[in-house]
Structure 1
Amino acid sequence: MSLPSVEDRRTAVDAYDFHGVHPHVRFGTASDRYGGWIDQIYPSDQYADRVSTRSRKMGGETFTERRVPIESVRHYFEHFAVLEIDFTFYRPLLEDDDEPGSNYFVLSNYAEHAPENTSFLLKAPQKFFARSLRRNGEFVDNLSFLDAESYVETFHEPALDILGDRLDGIIFQQEYQRVSDSPSPEKNVDQLDDFFGAIPDTPQSHIELRSEHLLQGPYFDWLDARGLGHVFSHWTWLPPLRRQWSLSGERLTAGDDQVVTRLLTPRNMKYAEAYATAHPFEEPVPELSETEQAHDMVLDTTALAFQAEAQNATLNVVANNRAWGNAPDLNRTIAHRILDEVEKQE
């Protein structure tokens, strides 16, 4: 099946339709339901008067978040090919008594309203992959760290029950750790190997370690041997995407040939500052989108797309409002840059 012309693809991209930009790239976002995306992703005639609000305190400020209803996911997938669900990071789907928790019902609501031919990436609960958890303002050891049995019973299996084939991957995100608080890179691999050897191989697992000192050759060798994916994350304390590509040995390791890049925050900018700068997420914010590192992020993501093509893999571009001000516009910028390269090759 031939692709539309580059001109037609650019027209679609400017309407925030990212289907068919490139056969080896899927565009999506980290979370959805943003009221700031009305008239961009969500039709105003259906959602302008159906916005709920909630207050969020951060960095000494209070922000009002505007959200459209979950059923808006059907319109989301008219624009994007994949959706990363983030709320599952904060608690499993089943509670300690094995009864469905609030996240179970929210995810079920997504499943009910999303079209059949769609793809979800879920974040695994931090309960099972964080070495420490914040409790009462302090970090304490996580007693459920790498508890494979509980992970499978309270999250993995119920997630598959809810989403079925639409669950395309699970992202395991681990918090930043100082060298003094971390195991050696070799010990880290040994610990992770026990866990991933005890959980199902499907759907695909993708790992995001936020500590650069753990991203060494033996770690990427292990990912490759196990068929686990490395998440190329543009985040506060991680090196640039091009540096991560070099550290990986210039290889894509996921067994299902899917690659995930998460464009989350500017480097060296903490979450709260990025959030405050990007809020209310309606448009690009120059302090985020017109910097040298933002330019590099776009170029590096574009390069990663063509590396995926060269290795017959598919790149999932997961954009976040905090990286740019508005995630759909970040995807639009990357899509046009990819099409620039396509034109050069023609």
Structure 2
Amino acid sequence: MTDQPDLFDAVPPPAPRPELAELAGHLPPNIRFGTSTWTYDGWRGEVYHRDYRGLQPARRLEEYARYPLFGTVGIDSAFYDPPTEEELAAYARHLPPGFPCVSKVWDRITARRLNQDGRWGNLAGQRNPDFLNAQLFKDAVLLPYARAFRDHAGCFVLEFQAMHGKDLPDPLQWAEELDAFLAELPRDYRYAVELRNPELLHELHGEVLKRHGVAHVFNSWTEVPSIGKQLELSWVFPAGFTVARALLRPGRSYADAVKLFEPYERVQEPNPELRRDLIRLMSPWMRRVSARA
């Protein structure tokens, strides 16, 4: 792959469709829509005007950021390997000033038990010695962002995959572990926590988030309550911002969704309930804008 200019760079992308530009004009300034990544080839013709296969992801990112309805994007690949300073610098060169990215945190820090993955070598399937290692987070994750991507570091999402059996702590133990970790993090970045164990969606967890100004991630995922049910919990707005990830219908696995919907070139299964839940979620933030007007 290359980040060098090619012949296609001489051809500017077409202007946004007028109806999309008009729709974008109605979005409240404090609400940003985006996707968990930007590398899907099926989006050509809707988001992208050309084929970006064989090029560095940063090249495609530039056109993604021009799409009228997108005001943020997720760096999903950071879950598997933290991006280097060089990779982040390339992303920054292709983004408009201040365009915020939501970055997943490396699973070496968020996995209590490392999965059966070749990345882990002899540690595969074992308890993770670096679970909630704040120093590793600061050195391996945060430092490259501070050096090359500070203007685009919108939020770091700590995604905790479902824990089972002896790996699943009780709510008190979990709150104590998370509290100790968050206390070690620099306060000048935004953080959000995504849980995939409904047992841990507890008031003790909410108290920890509030104490550190960390957001709850409203996630639509196979093993957790719907976003609508999460909204019924008393503690789910612990920070001055929030994050929502509308991913799966409850009960559907990620692998099944990939088989059903690749290459993601059109909406194949509308989800009215999820859309209603997202409107409920956004309503308090929209009222804040109206109150200032």
- The reply on whether 1:51 has 2:53 as its aligned counterpart is yes
- The reply on whether 1:176 has 2:162 as its aligned counterpart is yes
Match of 1:239 in 2: 225
AA paired with 2:163?
Q
AA paired with 1:72?
R
Q: Offset of 1:11 from its aligned partner?
A: 5.9
Contact 1:259–1:308 (Cα < 8 Å) also in 2: no
- The reply on whether 1:190 has 2:176 as its aligned counterpart is yes
Q: How far apart are the structure 2 equivalents of 1:227 and 1:123?
A: 18
Number of aligned positions between the proteins:
267
Cα deviation per residue 1:12-66 (whole Å; 9 max; x = unaligned)? 44x69646422331111100022111121112xxx23x434xxxxxxxxxxxxxx
Match of 2:73 in 1: 83
AA paired with 2:72?
V
Contact 1:179–1:213 (Cα < 8 Å) also in 2: no
* Range with greater deviation from structure 2 (119-128 or 69-78): 69-78
Q: How far apart are the structure 1 equivalents of 2:275 and 2:174?
A: 31
**3-state secondary structure, aligned to 2:159:** strand
Give the structure, 1 or 2, with the largest relative contact order (CA under 8 Å, sep 6 or more): 1
**3-state secondary structure, aligned to 1:261:** strand
- The reply on whether 1:132 has 2:113 as its aligned counterpart is yes
In the superposition, relative to structure 1, how do residues 204 and 69 fare at CA in structure 2: closer, same or farther (>3 Å)? Answer: closer
CA RMSD of aligned residues (A): 2.4
**3-state secondary structure, aligned to 1:36:** helix
Match of 1:252 in 2: 237
Match of 1:309 in 2: 286
Match of 2:257 in 1: 274
Q: How far apart are the structure 2 equivalents of 1:125 and 1:24?
A: 27
- The reply on whether 1:35 has 2:41 as its aligned counterpart is yes
In the superposition, relative to structure 1, how do residues 272 and 151 fare at CA in structure 2: closer, same or farther (>3 Å)? Answer: same
Please, which runs of 5 or more residues in structure 2 have no aligned partner? 1-16, 119-123
- The reply on whether 1:162 has 2:168 as its aligned counterpart is no
- The reply on whether 1:151 has 2:137 as its aligned counterpart is yes
- The reply on whether 1:230 has 2:216 as its aligned counterpart is yes
Greater strand proportion: 1
Q: Offset of 1:178 from its aligned partner?
A: 2.7
Q: How far apart are the structure 2 equivalents of 1:12 and 1:216?
A: 43
Cα deviation per residue 1:143-171 (whole Å; 9 max; x = unaligned)? 11011111101111211211112211100
AA paired with 1:232?
F
**3-state secondary structure, aligned to 1:239:** coil
Q: How far apart are the structure 1 equivalents of 2:64 and 2:256?
A: 27
Cα deviation per residue 1:119-176 (whole Å; 9 max; x = unaligned)? 1111010101111111358632111101111110111121121111221110000011
AA paired with 1:26?
R
Q: How far apart are the structure 2 equivalents of 1:245 and 1:227?
A: 18
Sequence identity percentage: 25
Q: How does 1:97-112 map to 2 (within 5 A)?
A: 103-112=84-93
TM-score when normalising by structure 2: 0.84
Q: How far apart are the structure 2 equivalents of 1:251 and 1:32?
A: 28
AA paired with 1:253?
P
Contact 1:207–1:230 (Cα < 8 Å) also in 2: yes
Contact 1:24–1:305 (Cα < 8 Å) also in 2: no
TM-score when normalising by structure 1: 0.72
In the superposition, relative to structure 1, how do residues 258 and 230 fare at CA in structure 2: closer, same or farther (>3 Å)? Answer: same
Match of 2:104 in 1: 123
Q: How far apart are the structure 2 equivalents of 1:184 and 1:69?
A: 40
Q: How far apart are the structure 1 equivalents of 2:82 and 2:86?
A: 12
**3-state secondary structure, aligned to 1:266:** coil
In the superposition, relative to structure 1, how do residues 16 and 213 fare at CA in structure 2: closer, same or farther (>3 Å)? Answer: farther
Q: How does 1:282-297 map to 2 (within 5 A)?
A: 282-285=265-268, 288-289=269-270, 294-297=271-274
Q: Offset of 1:238 from its aligned partner?
A: 0.8
**3-state secondary structure, aligned to 1:134:** coil
Match of 1:100 in 2: none
